[in-house]
Amino acid sequence: MKMSPSLVIFLIWVGVLGNSHLTMAEELFFKDYNVAVIQEFNVPSNVPAPDTAGSEIAGKVVYQIRRYTEKFNLFEMVVKEGTKEIPSGKKVLIIKGEVKEYTKSSPRRRIVRSLIPGGEWTSTNAFAAHYQFIDQESGKVLYETDLRTTGHFDQDTVEYAMERNAEAVQPRSLPNTK
């Protein structure tokens, strides 16, 4: 198959412009904030999850946001609420949430999944949470989202699903709501 030179040039321009548009879209949101404070997540009594799940996901969110902060220079401080004193005069973003699902694997689920072609590659563990990003000064909710993640291949555990959930909440990828 022979392509005309003008078609090749057009396709190259589409690729260049498409990639530059994606690069420009990666604006850092919540860049006005100096400190991110992560509160322990609420675990409602109607959700079959251990009481420690709220503290565990908050710790994982702190870790992931610190990773992104180091890489993309997002915040001066990222702390779990009550662990460190925040200097005055800093603009604070509060991240809090609620555990919505905590599903552990069961032998029955694994057996059923193994009977489905390709089902052995699907996860039987899941974690879901509702996140809120709040401006501390005004108390206004800037953004809310629900995230659900599952285990993956040989990492099919609820703990891994929680890690994936915390990683998905990176503040640089959230829409700007101002």
For the stretch 69-99, pLDDT in tens is 888 888 999 999 988 888 889 999 999 999 9
Residue with the two structure tokens 């995230």: 147
pLDDT score at 109: 61
pLDDT score at 78: 94
Among 30, 60, 66, residue whose Cα is nearest residue 149:
60
For the stretch 115-128, pLDDT in tens is 767 655 556 788 99
Number of helices and strands in the chain (H, E): 4, 5
The whole-angstrom separation of Cα 24 and Cα 148 is: 28
Q: What is the dihedral of CA 22, 144, 176, 137, to 10 degrees?
A: -150
The whole-angstrom separation of Cα 64 and Cα 154 is: 21
pLDDT score at 41: 96
pLDDT score at 71: 87
Give the residue extent of every domain in the chain. 32-172
Instruction: Collect the ranges in the chain with pLDDT lower than 70.
Output: 1-29, 106-114, 116, 118-123, 153-155, 171-178
User: Structure pTM?
Assistant: 0.73
Among 165, 172, 144, 173, residue whose Cα is nearest residue 61:
165
Ordered DSSP codes for 2-32: ---HHHHHHHHHHHHHHHHHHHHH-PPTTTT
The whole-angstrom separation of Cα 47 and Cα 98 is: 10
Per CATH, which fold does 32-172 belong to? Rossmann fold (3.40.50)
